[in-house]
Amino acid sequence: MKYIVAGNWKMHLTHSEVLNLALELKESLIEQSRKIDIFVFPPTIFLKDVQDVLFGSLIKTGVQNMYFQDEGAYTGETSPLMLKSINCSLALIGHSERREYFKEDDEMLRYKLLACKKWDILPILCIGERLEERESGKTEDILASQITKALDKTEMERLVIAYEPVWAIGTGKTATPRQAQEAHAFIKKLVKHIMEKDVPVLYGGSVKVENAKELAREKDIDGFLIGGASLHKESFVKIVNEFIRMKNL
Ligand code: 13P
């Protein structure tokens, strides 16, 4: 199982800024991308151009969201068939911002996972509890419910999970290494039970240069999904380097 460090650029940056960042990463992460998988998730409108910039590098480009139908009257959506037609085989599924602002529920995510399976797109399924759920001791119940509902009868062969506690996203509050480790161990055990294989579990939520080292030290943290700190070459590259160093790669 390979480790993964990924940048989710969300709805940030203009066309020229995105292409500059992609080019800087291509030039800065040559050695690192041989040791771990490095993924970037630009805004969909710039996806193809980022792919073109990254052509010839080992950094892979994915989509932040996709719909589950192959085609049809679904204004504004992007289909797996369209993604495959530009050789995009990587998708974030169920990011908490999609769940919260665009009302994506577990049932829809299940369809999206099935679409990924059909089209051989590697899904990174994002899960995580809200603050009130953590404070009332429901973290494991929530994670278990999100996982079992999304994976129900999907028989996925390939999957990555990103554990992103909602209260840690964009807030500057990171889960402590211990909180993250406990959640990751729980997720891995449950997913192994369902899929009968090990899947990588990434941590996301205010990952920064300052906390990357102590998070990467945890044994069940197989990588990061980074928001804000992935928008700058310096911080993203530093986090990648810190991760590689802590895992002795
Ligand atoms: P931040 O790193 O900005 O907290 O975002 C995390 C995230 O949502 C990545 O998908």
Q: Which residues of the chain have pLDDT under 70?
A: none
Distance 209 CA to ligand 1 centre (A): 13
Please report the pLDDT score of residue 122 as a whole number: 98
Please report the pLDDT score of residue 171 as a whole number: 87
Q: Note the pTM of the prediction, 2 decimals.
A: 0.97
Distance 155 CA to ligand 1 centre (A): 28
74-123 pLDDT, tens digit per residue, is 999 999 999 999 999 999 999 999 999 999 999 999 999 999 999 999 99
24-33 pLDDT, tens digit per residue, is 999 999 999 9
Structural domains of the chain sorted by starting position, each given as residue range(s) with its CATH number in brackets? 4-246 (3.20.20.70)
Please report the pLDDT score of residue 174 as a whole number: 86
Please report the pLDDT score of residue 170 as a whole number: 85
Please report the pLDDT score of residue 243 as a whole number: 98
Could you tell which of 125, 202, 207 is best to mutate to test the pocket of ligand 1, judged by most ligand atoms within 8 Å of the CB?
207
Catalytic center residues:
95, 164
CA–CA gap between residue 23 and residue 26 (Å, rounded): 5
Residues within 6 Å of ligand 1 by CB: 8, 95, 164, 169-170, 204-207, 225-229
Structure tokens at 125: 């399924």
Atom of ligand 1 nearest to the CA of 170: 4
Please report the pLDDT score of residue 172 as a whole number: 83
Give the side-chain half-sphere CA count within 13 A for 38.
Answer: 23
Atom of ligand 1 nearest to the CA of 96: 8
